[in-house]
Amino acid sequence: MTTPDRGTTRRGLLRRTAAVSLAAISSRGVYELLDELGGGPARAAAAPPRRRQEQYLVDNVEVILDNGVTVAIPPLYNDVITAKLTSRTAWTVSALKNAKTRVENALAAVESPYSSNAAGLTMVVGWGLPFFRTFVPSLWPAYLPAIPGTDPRQYAVLDAIRFPSDDASMVLEDNHVMFKFRSDSSNIVSGAERALFEDQSSKAYIGDLFDLTSKRTGFLGRGFDKPSIGRTLALAAGVPGASSIPDRAQLMMGFTSTQTQALAPDNVPSFETLPRITDQWPGGYFAAGCAMHLSHLYLDIDTWYRSFDFSTRTKRMFSPRTPAQAPGTVTVPNGAAQVASLADVKQDAANLHQSGHNSLLQLATRLGADVIDNYGRTRTKGTAVPLREDFNTLDDPFSWAPGGVGPADKPGLHFVAFVPGHHLFHRARLAMDGMLPDGTDLRQAPYNIAARDSGINGMMRASHRQNYVIPPRRNRSFPLVELLT
């Protein structure tokens, strides 16, 4: 009897999982292959701690060294479930308050057995502005974080917008709530989702309170000293260009995303941490919370690898000035020493008609000078302000229906950014399109770089966007509802 080769086995598993009628929100679908590959990296066990108020943080994230660069190894599994409060309930003040208590008790019960590191379970609950406008309309204007000293009052939490490189088909969502689950264990993630949204006999069941609108399932592979999960899964799914993904790549576009110096340290993204960003210092209702952007992007993996050689991909991803890297390099330094200057970006645009994805973003996402934060800590020039959590996907979450995963041949990226205010994210995303913070527009003469040709924009297409408010843990369930009368 002939033993099937490993690739055939993987393809067969993908076909089987994709073909099954998935009746459970907790199903892993095509991502069950990750378990066959051995799951996430080994992590040190930890006792369940008292969890911090910053629900967006993961404790004790592992750090390794790759190409001389320190790299964070976040949780392998990342799921996001979006929802609206069910239309089947009359949402009276009493119903809202009861739901608040019930949801908080459910969340606490589900997470209590686990540590708050990658080996355990961390959940993030975020609320869209449609929730605040619909269910606490008399309260949100006085409580949502605002930019100090603005008259009229300008809020630091904003609706998502369409950016110049977004096409007309991009959807601006209006969900009330999103739940983000993170763990190295698929069993832990699936168990939490099952208890909350599927198993009506569970004491943590809250599925009747919400109408689910999407389940966004994805992964952030370790790579480096391990085989690339992105490459393995993309090959199994038959994604064009998958064979060109580097063997050590963390993400399907081939480069590392989690250089520690390119991510905000500790609680920098919180509303109150950096001075004069919002009015939440020292005791705002949303202090220890943050703003969050969530988008889904389709990736053109085939064009990325077929049209550009390694040197060109490196310059498009980082900067036209990035020094030559050895073939096979996946981790490129992206710290304060590599932050581009405004003059360099303009010169490259004028002389080369090129711009790098990172060099554009750095102009809007790194501190331009040393800052003493509101906790008395020095934040040095070049420190990153956003905390990104971008993770690959192979399914189409908008072909999803409750109980299933969409077509499993759609390479993409779920992009999450935690920031102190949505105005900061919008500034950064506009810079990515060539609209720089100083008012320079690289789309215009003498630069003439179209937004879609800027950096890596031509390799991705946003299908959906929405901004959320991430409250502190103490207010993560139905924020402001307890103040209703």
Please report where in the chains the tokens 């941490």 appear, as a residue.
273
Across 32-167, where does the E strand assignment appear?
Answer: 62-66, 69-73, 77-85, 122-128
Inter-residue contact 192 to 121 (CB < 8 Å): yes
Average pLDDT, the chain: 91
Six-digit token pair at 383?
């420190």
Please report the pLDDT score of residue 16 as a whole number. 32
Confidence of residue 125 (pLDDT cuts 50, 70, 90): very high
**Cα gap 20→186, rounded to integer Å:** 18
pLDDT digits (tens, 9 = 90+) for 45-58: 665 668 999 999 99
121-135 mean pLDDT: 98
Q: What percent of the chain has pLDDT over 70?
A: 89
Six-digit token pair at 257?
């995303």
**Cα gap 112→132, rounded to integer Å:** 28
53-73 mean pLDDT: 96
Please report the pLDDT score of residue 36 as a whole number. 63
Please report the pLDDT score of residue 46 as a whole number. 62
Please report the pLDDT score of residue 419 as a whole number. 98
Across 15-19, 134-138, 298-302, 385-389, least confident range: 15-19
Check residue 219 and give left, alpha or beta (phi > 0: left; psi -120 to 50: alpha): beta
Please report the pLDDT score of residue 47 as a whole number. 59
Helix or strand or coil: residue 151?
A: coil
Please report where in the chains the tokens 């759609």 appear, as a residue.
410
pLDDT digits (tens, 9 = 90+) for 387-432: 999 999 998 888 765 555 666 778 999 999 999 999 999 999 999 9
Closest by CA to 30, choosing from 406, 390, 398, is 406
Please report the pLDDT score of residue 4 as a whole number. 34
Confidence of residue 9 (pLDDT cuts 50, 70, 90): very low
Relative orientation angle of helices 357-365 and 422-432, to the nearest 10 degrees: 150
The pairing of strands 412-419 and 122-128 is unpaired
Closest by CA to 77, choosing from 107, 113, 32, 16, is 32
Six-digit token pair at 183?
């763990």
Q: What percent of the chain has pLDDT over 90?
A: 82
**Residue 140: pLDDT over 60:** yes
**Residue 18: pLDDT over 50:** no
Q: How far is CA 109 from CA 125, 188, 192, 365, in A?
A: 15, 13, 10, 37
**Residue 12: pLDDT over 50:** no
State the CB neighbour count (10 A cutoff) for residue 17: 18
- Burial grade of 401 (CB within 10 A; 0-12, 13-18, 19 or more): exposed
**Cα gap 105→109, rounded to integer Å:** 6
Angle at 389 between CA 368 and CA 79, to 5 degrees: 160
